[in-house]
A and B are shown apart, each in its own frame.
Chain A
Amino acid sequence: MSTLVKPTANGHELQALEGSVYTTKFDKLLGWARKYSLFQYPFVTACCGMEFMSTACSHYDIDRFGAAFPRFSPRQADVLWVVGTISHKIAPVLKTVYEQMAEPKWVVSFGACASCGGPYDNYATVQGIDTIIPVDIYIAGCPPRPEAVLDGLLKLQELIQNEKHTGTSGRGYK
């Protein structure tokens, strides 16, 4: 962990504690803990779901990133994966799920449909979920390959790691 430093006293390393104690900032520690303990809520509606499943299966193994635990209850999840086309009919459900999730919470927009309506410019499709809920990470592709999904996940974890939780200069929860 690059963010940890060895304890020193007046510029000298404390030999007795070397290897057993590290000091860091509370923000960094909390960010590190959060980014490797993501409980995801997969809101899967369309073809992107297959890529999502493939990313979760053994070959790509999203579990390696500490982000594999799907919870189908919004109250037990902190990352909402919006995977697929969102129609105006299902949009209120998505918004309710988002609102029921406890904070801190993050949203991943998975694929072209969730991000901007994809190929569907018609009466039925929401033109991007950011018109109804805030989004942290967009994953491009129709559908995105598992590599792109993992890249999106790493970007989200980077964002979570660098969030400020103390003081007034934080990101501020929505």
Chain B
Amino acid sequence: MTDKFPEQIAIEKKLPHAVYDWHAQHGDRTLIIDGTHLLSIATLLKEQLGYNFLVDLTAVDYLPRKPRFEVVYHFMNLETKARLRLKIQSDEQVPTVPSLTSLWPIANWYERECWDLFGVKFEGHPNLKRIMLYEEFKGHPLRKDYPKTKRQPLIGPEN
């Protein structure tokens, strides 16, 4: 276990119980946080700590581990080149986290992709619908329990 990062200390000063865990390997600094505080933590990162770039947003399905899902955010400070990763763990059938579209417009597409492929629901998203697949598609194909060869064609035979 490493020492606390400055960002973590700043977050904990404002939200004492929001950070569940932290680790850093090979310079990858990660905070595992309480999903309900995501919006205030992201606001703090953006407005006070200079993390002005949301690099990526995705999810991981760790089936059969519990908690099963992790929603992962990658932030970058474009001035200092510092990077920070936030993770939210969830064991719900439909993990639900707050949307970051109010802070970074790019989150709009990231979150639609994450909803489409992993079935993570982003509360407050203005238009949470499929972006990679088509509307008629059932399920979320990057979940581990989606059958690998199952096909849902718009036209033509199933396989």
Helix, strand, loop or mixed for chain B's interface?
A: loop
Q: Which residues of chain B are within 8 angstroms of A131 by Cβ–Cβ distance?
A: 156-157
Chain A residues 108 to 126 lying within 8 A of chain B, measured CB to CB, are: 121-124, 126
* Segment from A12-20, A66-74, A87-95, A147-155 that makes contact with B: A87-95
Q: Which residues of chain A are within 8 angstroms of B149 by Cβ–Cβ distance?
A: 121-123
The bracket for how many chain B residues form the interface is: 10 to 19
The bracket for how many chain A residues form the interface is: 10 to 19
Bound-complex Cα distance A122 to B137 (A): 14
| B151 CB within 8 Å of chain A | yes
Chain B residues 119 to 159 lying within 8 A of chain A, measured CB to CB, are: 133-134, 141, 146, 148-157, 159
Bound-complex Cα distance A127 to B159 (A): 7
A88 touches B159 (CB 8 A): no
Q: Which residues of chain B are within 8 angstroms of A21 by Cβ–Cβ distance?
A: none
Chain A residues 79 to 106 lying within 8 A of chain B, measured CB to CB, are: 88-89, 91-92, 95
A91 touches B148 (CB 8 A): no
B155 touches A95 (CB 8 A): yes
Chain A residues 34 to 89 lying within 8 A of chain B, measured CB to CB, are: 88-89
A88 touches B152 (CB 8 A): yes
Bound-complex Cα distance A91 to B151 (A): 13
| A132 CB within 8 Å of chain B | yes
Bound-complex Cα distance A70 to B151 (A): 33
CB distance from A44 to the nearest CB of B (A): 20
Bound-complex Cα distance A88 to B135 (A): 12
CB distance from A110 to the nearest CB of B (A): 19
A123 touches B141 (CB 8 A): yes
Bound-complex Cα distance A88 to B159 (A): 11
Q: Which residues of chain A are within 8 angstroms of B141 by Cβ–Cβ distance?
A: 122-124
Given contacts A122-B148, A123-B141, contact A92 B133 (CB under 8 A): no
Bound-complex Cα distance A164 to B151 (A): 39
CB distance from B155 to the nearest CB of A (A): 5
Bound-complex Cα distance A16 to B90 (A): 93
Q: Which residues of chain A are within 8 angstroms of B150 by Cβ–Cβ distance?
A: 123
Q: Which residue of B lies closest to A123 (CB)?
A: B141
Q: Which residues of chain A are within 8 angstroms of B152 by Cβ–Cβ distance?
A: 88, 123
Q: Which residues of chain B are within 8 angstroms of A91 by Cβ–Cβ distance?
A: 153-156
Q: List 26 A-B contacts (CB under 8 A).
A: A88-B134, A88-B151, A88-B152, A89-B133, A89-B134, A91-B153, A91-B154, A91-B155, A91-B156, A121-B148, A121-B149, A122-B148, A122-B149, A123-B141, A123-B146, A123-B149, A123-B151, A123-B152, A124-B133, A124-B141, A126-B153, A126-B156, A127-B151, A127-B159, A131-B156, A131-B157
Taking Cβ atoms with an 8 Å cutoff, the residues of B that contact A are: 133-134, 141, 146, 148-157, 159
